[in-house]
Structure formats: structure tokens, C-alpha cells
Amino acid sequence: MSDNRVSSHAPSAATAGDDVRRALAVVLAAGEGTRMLSRMPKVLHQVAGRAIVSHVLDAVTHAGVDAVAVVIGPDREDVEAEVRRTSPQASLHVQRERLGTAHAVLAAREALEAGADDVIVLFGDTPLVRPETIRRLREAIAAGAAVAVLGFEARDPTGYGRLLIEGDELVAIREHKDATEAERAIRLCNGGIMALDGAHALALLDAVDNNNAKGEYYLTEVVEHARKAGLAATALVADEAEQLGINDRVQLAEAEAVIQARLRLAAQRAGVTLVAPETVFLSFDTVLGRDVVVEPNVVFGPGVVVEDGAVVHAFSHLAGATVARGADVGPFARLRPGAQIGERAHVGNFVEIKNATLAQGVKVGHLTYLGDADVGAGANIGAGTITCNYDGFRKHRTHIGAGAFIGSNTSLVAPVRVGAGAYTGSGSVVTNDVPGDALALGRSRQVVKDDWAMRWRKAHAADKGQS
Ligand code: UD1
Ligand code: CA
């Protein structure tokens, strides 16, 4: 298949200088995110099937940085595990007390001391930042600025730091709490993403004090220190959506909407038909091949690959599954992790498949559960077939040979094998292996009582007359 990875990030196109200038990204993820009202730290909440912080790490990777340092809170093994999964090379640094954003960056002093040409500071709760934007900030540093800040025109600037601009120079960032009325009228705000010239970064950060309304070490103060040292600071403007920081569940849903819109667009631009795009939910890693058709109301959890020309009918839910070329799935199908649907196979309505491989041309039309199973090419699975894969303690596999015909409403009690070309009679409970080309019947024989129904009706009609 063509590699149509539906990524919200364009493939990294190296900008001039990328390979000569070394970049360090420092990602601040020490916040608990109290406004989420959650037992889980904020940066582990998910958008598009992946933790918020991992989106930031992914953007940083796509921007082509050389080193990543992540600042986390004390005793946060869960955040550490997530960072290790997404960015195994990242160094982790613990900020023991939350004394402000500059203090948080300095928790990664070791990484800063290792030296870099560009230091990019990002917040771990800002998942929508694009690699292109990170590259733009780096270009500003390469062009001579000591500090480059990403800003946006806020619809409502309340709470944000304001960018104070004179000419085309950034002279200071004023935190909302410290701002005068006149400064509060400014709508150009600090989005929180900043690049620093590595040669000056440590000195600028060390100069920051906590003399302000919050009593915190503000990262934003580096702008003034740069100016005092005769260095240039500059602001770049990007879309507000890209700088959305997630502080509560409302913003979490807003971020989800933005990422979904990006993923849908990327899929459509890669040759996928989304009949009603706004009803299809994708994951960060969903891979959809060319000429795939996705009908309305389909959810793709993480780890799904759908190859060229396959069709996913309405109201299906897929996660951790592969659908090969020309296969079709749904409507109302559920593919769970480990489901591998072969070429031109057909998985119909109300069918659930888990940890099972269906070879090419297999037909599972209706109302079936196949779990922990291997199904050979061209086998036909009748309506209502169930693999009884679980004995209350362990899972067992079911093997169905090529060309087998499983009669409707068969229960396959695993572990069990049905040979190639074999049949099972409808309604059978299959507990023993079935040789190839045999017929297995595991059900009680039918009894017919002539005229029984007529006698029954007569008897009851008489009852009714008496009462
Ligand atoms: C910050 C900026 C503000 C900007 C806004 C954009 C500062 C001083 N202010 O304000 O100009 O408009 O973001 O959203 O930088 N963090 C730590 N350790 C700390 C403090 C913060 O790791 O000691 C992390 C937080 O988890 C968060 C990020 O840094 O991810 C930003 O901190 P927060 O306190 O939310 O800053 P704001 O007041 O929003
Ligand atoms: Ca914030």
C-alpha cells in the first residue's frame, strides 16, 4: 500500500541550518493541572488517542531537535513512563518545588549545560503546536535574536502574559497580574513557546528573580534581561489554536476538535473518502490507504491500519487492528486489538473480532464473536458463531482451516481445531477437533410429534371456556 499515514504533522523538511545548529527542547510538564479535577496529571490526558505531552514531544521530534529534556513533578512515574515510551532519548528532570516557569526550565540545567545553539522551551500542556512553528522560532534565533517568543492575538487576553512591542522589538512580557490597565488592553499575548540562543540561555535564566505579583520565577522575564544585555528579542505570531494550553476539560475537548480537524484533512488529502468527516474520529497514528472509504460515525482508536481500497461502513469501532486491501468491515463492526482482516475479507454487522487473524476472502457476515482465532482463506463463518475462548482463567485459541464452513450458531469451545474444508452443523457446540472435510454435529436430535400442536390448542381452548 502507499504510505498514507494520517499524521497531523507534515513530514519534516529540514530547514537550512538544521543540520549545523544543535537544538535542545525543554518541555515543562511539572504541573498537576488542578482544574482538570482529575486523579491523573494533566499532561497524561489524551487527545486523538495519545497523551497531551506526547503530542508536544512528537512535534519537537518532527521539528528536528537534537536533544529533549522533560521537566516533571516529583514522584511522577506515570509521566516518566509516558515520556520514555514516546521519546526514549529524552532526559528527565525533576522540579521539586513549583516556583515558576523559569525555575522549571532550570531544573533541566544539566541539559542546558551540555550546550545547544537553540534552546526551545515548550509547555507540556500545549499539544497543538506544529513542527513548522518550532522551526520558525529557531530561524529567528539563527537570524540573531537572543529570545524569540511565539504570540497570538487573543480574543480574550485575560490571564495571559502581554507582549510589549516597540517597533519590531519585543521589549518585555507582562504577566496579567503585574500589568497596568493600559497593558491589559493589549491583545497580543504570550503563547508560552519560546526559543533562546543557547549561548545566552543559562545566563538569562539565572538572572530571573521572583519579584512579582505571584512571587514566581517567570520565564518571561528573560526578555528584559536580554534587552539589558544589549541582545535582541523578537515575537512571532501564529494561530491561537496552535497555542491552546489545556487547563480544564473544556479546553481538552477544544484541542481534540482541532486535532481531529487536522487528521481528517490529512486523510482526505491522502486520497481517503470520508463521507461525513465531522463524524469520523481518528487517532494520532491512524493509517488509511488510498481509496479507503470511511462511512459516517466511525471511531479509530490507536494502532489501526486500513489498506488501499478497503471500506469501513458506518458505526464501526476499530482499535489495534489491520484491514487489508479490498476488505470491508461493518456497519456496526468492532475490531479490537490484534484483529487482522485479510484481503477482500468481509466482516459484517454486529461482528466483534479480537486477537484473531482472518486470511483472505474469509466471510463473517453477522452477529459473531471471533476471539483468539486463526481463520484460513475463504472460510465462511455463519451467523451467530461464537468462539468460547475463555475458561475463566485463561484464553485458548480456535483454528479454523481454509475453506471451512461453520454453520450458523456454532459454539467453538477452545482450544479446538476445525480442519480445512470441514463443516459444522448449525447450532453445534464443538468441543473436539474436527478433521478436514468432515462434518461435525454437536447438538440434540430433532423430535417431531405429529398433531401435537393441534391437541395443545384444543386442550387450552377448553380451559378458556371453563374459566
Ligand atoms: C504562562 C506564561 C504567560 C503565557 C501563558 C500561556 C509565564 C510566567 N507566564 O502563564 O506569559 O501567556 O503561560 O499559556 O511563563 N510549570 C512548571 N513548573 C512551575 C510552573 C509552571 O512545570 O513551577 C509548567 C506548568 O505545568 C505549565 C506551564 O509551565 O505547563 C505554564 O505554567 P502556568 O503556571 O500555567 O503559566 P501561566 O500562568 O499560564
Ligand atoms: Ca497555563
Cβ(221) – ligand 1 distance below 6 Å = no
pLDDT in tens, 328-345: 999 999 999 999 999 999
pLDDT at 19: 56
Q: Which structural domains are found in the chain, ordered by start?
A: 23-243 (3.90.550.10), 249-440 (2.160.10.10)
Q: Which three cell numbers stand for residue 285?
A: 497514528
- For residue 375, report the distance from its CA to the centre of ligand 1, in Å: 54
Nearest ligand by distance to the CA of 219: 1
Q: Answer yes or no: 366 catalytic.
A: yes
- For residue 176, report the distance from its CA to the centre of ligand 1, in Å: 12
DSSP for 154-170 reads: -SS-TTSPEEEEETTEE
Residue with cell 459454539: 411
Residue located nearest, by CA, to atom 22 of ligand 1: 30
> How sure is the predictor about 33, in pLDDT bands with cuts at 50, 70 and 90?
confident
pLDDT at 14: 43
Q: Looking at residues 46-50, what average pLDDT do you find? A: 98
Cβ(324) – ligand 1 distance below 6 Å = no
The answer, yes or no, to whether residue 16 has pLDDT greater than 70, is no
> How sure is the predictor about 31, in pLDDT bands with cuts at 50, 70 and 90?
confident
Residue located nearest, by CA, to atom 33 of ligand 1: 101
Cβ(244) – ligand 1 distance below 6 Å = no
Cβ(98) – ligand 1 distance below 6 Å = yes
> How sure is the predictor about 10, in pLDDT bands with cuts at 50, 70 and 90?
very low
Q: Looking at residues 161-179, what average pLDDT do you find? A: 96
What is the distance between the terminal CA atoms of the chain, rounded to a whole angstrom?
Answer: 74
Residue with cell 534565533: 141
The half-sphere exposure of 180 on its side-chain side, counting CA atoms within 13 A, is 3
Q: Looking at residues 169-184, what average pLDDT do you find? A: 97
- Amino acid sitting at position 237: V
> How sure is the predictor about 467, in pLDDT bands with cuts at 50, 70 and 90?
low
- For residue 135, report the distance from its CA to the centre of ligand 2, in Å: 23
Q: What is d(CA 206, CA 138) in angstroms, rounded to the nearest whole number?
A: 22
The answer, yes or no, to whether residue 15 has pLDDT greater than 60, is no
| Test site for ligand 1: of 43, 45, 123, 244, most ligand atoms within 8 A of the Cβ | 123
Q: Which of 242-246, 318-322, 463-467 has the lowest mean pLDDT?
A: 463-467
Q: Which three cell numbers stand for residue 358?
A: 482472518
pLDDT at 411: 98
pLDDT at 298: 99
The answer, yes or no, to whether residue 261 has pLDDT greater than 50, is yes
Residue 36: other Cβ atoms inside 10 A: 21
Q: Looking at residues 430-452, what average pLDDT do you find? A: 97
Query: In this prediction, what percent of the chain has a pLDDT beyond 90?
Result: 93
Q: Looking at residues 121-148, what average pLDDT do you find? A: 97
Q: Looking at residues 167-192, what average pLDDT do you find? A: 96
pLDDT in tens, 275-317: 999 999 999 999 999 999 999 999 999 999 999 999 999 999 9
Query: Is 355 annotated as contributing to ligand binding?
Result: no
| Test site for ligand 1: of 101, 105, 208, most ligand atoms within 8 A of the Cβ | 101
Q: What is the pTM of this model?
A: 0.92
Q: Between vectors from CA 117 to CA 69 and to CA 164, what angle results, nearest 5°?
A: 85
> How sure is the predictor about 32, in pLDDT bands with cuts at 50, 70 and 90?
confident
Q: Are strands 287-288 and 380-381 parallel, antiparallel or unpaired?
A: unpaired
Q: Which three cell numbers stand for residue 267?
A: 486523510
Cβ(139) – ligand 1 distance below 6 Å = no
The answer, yes or no, to whether residue 243 has pLDDT greater than 50, is yes
> How sure is the predictor about 466, in pLDDT bands with cuts at 50, 70 and 90?
low
Cβ atoms of 379 and 398 closer than 8 Å: no
Q: Which is nearest to 339 in space by CA: 350, 359, 355?
A: 355
Q: What is d(CA 122, CA 101) in angstroms, rounded to the nearest whole number?
A: 10
Q: Looking at residues 90-101, what average pLDDT do you find? A: 97
The answer, yes or no, to whether residue 5 has pLDDT greater than 60, is no
Query: Is 42 annotated as contributing to ligand binding?
Result: yes
Cβ(369) – ligand 1 distance below 6 Å = no
pLDDT in tens, 320-379: 999 999 999 999 999 999 999 999 999 999 999 999 999 999 999 999 999 999 999 999
Structural Rg of the chain based on CA atoms = 30
> How sure is the predictor about 55, in pLDDT bands with cuts at 50, 70 and 90?
very high
Q: How far is CA 88 from CA 58, 61, 72, 80, 327, in A?
A: 12, 11, 15, 10, 36
Cβ atoms of 375 and 422 closer than 8 Å: no
Q: Which three cell numbers stand for residue 432?
A: 473436539
Q: Which three cell numbers stand for residue 97?
A: 518545588
The half-sphere exposure of 181 on its side-chain side, counting CA atoms within 13 A, is 0
Query: Is 95 annotated as contributing to ligand binding?
Result: yes
Backbone angles phi, psi at 72, to 5 degrees: -125, 165
Q: Which of 2-16, 303-317, 396-410 has the lowest mean pLDDT?
A: 2-16
Q: Looking at residues 99-124, what average pLDDT do you find? A: 97
pLDDT at 200: 98
Q: Looking at residues 65-85, what average pLDDT do you find? A: 97
pLDDT at 6: 57
Cβ(175) – ligand 1 distance below 6 Å = yes
Secondary structure E strands in 130-257: 147-153, 162-166, 169-174, 188-197, 233-237
The answer, yes or no, to whether residue 8 has pLDDT greater than 70, is no
Q: What is d(CA 417, CA 399) in angstroms, rounded to the nearest whole number?
A: 5
- Amino acid sitting at position 55: H
The answer, yes or no, to whether residue 11 has pLDDT greater than 60, is no
Q: What is d(CA 23, CA 121) in angstroms, rounded to the nearest whole number?
A: 11
Q: What is d(CA 29, CA 126) in angstroms, rounded to the nearest whole number?
A: 10
Q: Are strands 118-123 and 188-197 parallel, antiparallel or unpaired?
A: antiparallel
Q: What is d(CA 192, CA 147) in angstroms, rounded to the nearest whole number?
A: 12
97 Cα nearest atom in ligand 1: 23
pLDDT at 1: 41
Query: Is 160 annotated as contributing to ligand binding?
Result: no
Q: Which is nearest to 368 in space by CA: 389, 343, 347?
A: 347
On average, the pLDDT of the chain sits at 95
pLDDT at 463: 75
Cβ atoms of 402 and 385 closer than 8 Å: no
Query: Is 349 annotated as contributing to ligand binding?
Result: no
Residue positions counted in the chain: 467
